[in-house]
Amino acid sequence: MKDKNTVLSWAVFIMIFVGMGMIALGAFKYDEVAGYGFAAVGVGFFAIAWVFNALKGRV
C-alpha cells in the first residue's frame, strides 16, 4: 500500500504531464480561439499540481 505522499507525488507528475500536453495542443494544433482554451486549461493543471505538491507532508 502506498502512503499519501507517494499518491500525491504521482498525481503531481500526471498533472504536469497532462498540463504540458494541453499547452502543446493549444500552441501547435489549434490556431483558433480553441488554442487559448487548451493553453488556459493546461496552466490550470499546473496550478492544481502546485497545490498538490504543497500538500505533501501536510495531509
Q: How confident is the model over 1-59, as pLDDT tens digits?
A: 678 888 888 999 999 999 999 999 999 988 888 889 999 999 999 999 999 888 887 76
Predicted model pTM:
0.82
Give the position of cell 499546473: 46
What torsion do the CA atoms of 3, 5, 6, 12 make, to the nearest 10 degrees? 150
Output the pLDDT for position 12. 92
d(CA 4, CA 53): 12
